[in-house]
Amino acid sequence: MRIAMISMHTSPLEQPGSGDAGGMNVYVLNTATHLARQGVEVDIYTRATRPSQGEVVEVEENLRVINIVAGPYEGLAKEALPTQLAAFAGGIVLFGKCHDLDYDLIHSHYWLSGQVGWLLRDLWEAPLVHTAHTLAAVKNAYRSADDSPESEARRICEQQLVDNADLLVVNTHEETNDLVQHYDADPEHVVVVSPGADTELFTPGNDRATERSRRELGVPLHAKVVAFIGRLQEFKGPQVLIRAVAELLAREPDRNLRVLICGGPSGAHATPEQYLDLARDLGVERRIRFLEPRPPEELVSVYRAADIIAVPSYNESFGLVAMEAQSTGTPVIAARVGGLPIAVAEGETGLLVDGHGVGDWADAIAQLLDDDDTRIRMGEDAVGHAASFSWSASATQLASVYSEALSIEIPDCHGRRASGR
């Protein structure tokens, strides 16, 4: 089986945690890697953002990333990417012709890629599987008051994909409900495939490893540490954590608390300074350390250095950060939104908070920081919980979805229907 994956707006090889690179990058790279190891040939098409990338990157056997030139390498905002859909699609078609490629199936990620996949589906007469990762209607329903709404144009494009893709893959049953409620999707065309965690990389550390991680990060060894890992944007909620920490320290100024915020700005108007300024305005800048995004093998140290990982997002399709944290043995406090109630076993591997009220988050953080026995027990249980989610299992599920999609009849140019290859 040869699969064309499409991830137009961000390359799976980019560093997650800043710009447009995040959980989707982790998802695409890991599912593709494990599909390739199971014998599926995977080509991932993405938009070239610098000439040094080269046209083709051989990641490993059966897996390569193909960089398509569409618009300028740099300086093109995500909001302007729809202007390059035709150029990107044309680049994929040309590459396929020049290399005599024949794909059995297309799997698109995010709505921009889905629009390209929809075109290629009819051109190549190959079924289209689409994963939205996030949805405009859902983001608008859950966004914070200060966050910019998603455009109606995006919502319309997503509706087209729901109506035309052969199968839709989602992370949780909650996402299925979102598609049905907001986009009138047919539940029979939606398949749940749970994401995973790299349980071989994200492993618990012993006391010595934790001490080493804290020394490397400049964190006091005996402080209680709360960490946030992700893109710095309102939707991910770093401001919620900063305000909750300020509230906690206002209650108890002598509390030995430190906060790590690891990530880069994301979005047209996002800057790291706005979060630095917020911490400064609230008088907690000395308690918070901002870290640049880092590759997974270095991110392990941040997870291990923390007593708690906070995930105060306004919505998450699943919550990969929460799963990676638990895999390292660190309990999670997360918002009760999206797929996070599935990623976090409430009361067993962490706590879930209703809403984003500052007092509620301060209470939850204090509750877990002050109860050492419960926190340690949750960390131990978290490892087993995370072990039940693996990328290998996700890839196996996806391969089954692909086989199902290949049996679906696809209309040809005369309106006749024939099954996929």
Q: What angle do CA 113, 116, 117 make, to 5 degrees?
A: 85
Phi/psi at 7 (5° precision): -135, 75
**Which positions make up the binding site for Mg(2+)?**
303-304, 306, 330
Strand partners, 310: 333
> Is 119 within 8 Å of 143 (Cβ atoms)?
no
> Is 106 within 8 Å of 407 (Cβ atoms)?
no
Which amino acid, 142?
Answer: Y
**Which positions make up the binding site for 1D-myo-inositol 3-phosphate?**
9, 20-25, 78, 110, 134, 154
> Is 356 within 8 Å of 144 (Cβ atoms)?
yes
Q: Which two tokens stand for residue 153?
A: 């144009």
Q: Which two tokens stand for residue 352?
A: 């879930």
Q: Which two tokens stand for residue 314?
A: 């306004």
- Pick the closest to residue 17 from 391, 290, 327 (CA basis): 290
**3-state SS assignment for residue 315:** coil
Q: Which two tokens stand for residue 39?
A: 């014998």
**Which positions make up the binding site?**
9, 15-16, 20-25, 78, 110, 134, 154, 231, 236, 294, 303-304, 306, 316, 324, 330
Strand partners, 224: 257
> Is 181 within 8 Å of 376 (Cβ atoms)?
no
- Pick the closest to residue 209 from 353, 305, 105, 275 (CA basis): 305
Q: How far apart are CA 214 and CA 321, in angstroms?
A: 19
Q: How far apart are CA 258 and CA 317, in angstroms?
A: 29
Q: How far apart are CA 146 and CA 365, in angstroms?
A: 24
Q: How far apart are CA 190 and CA 339, in angstroms?
A: 16
How does 389-413 read in b/e, with b if 16+ C-beta sit within 10 Å? Answer: bbbbebbebbbebbeebbeeebeee
- Pick the closest to residue 368 from 353, 387, 388, 390 (CA basis): 353
**Which positions make up the binding site for UDP-N-acetyl-alpha-D-glucosamine?**
15-16, 23, 231, 236, 294, 316, 324
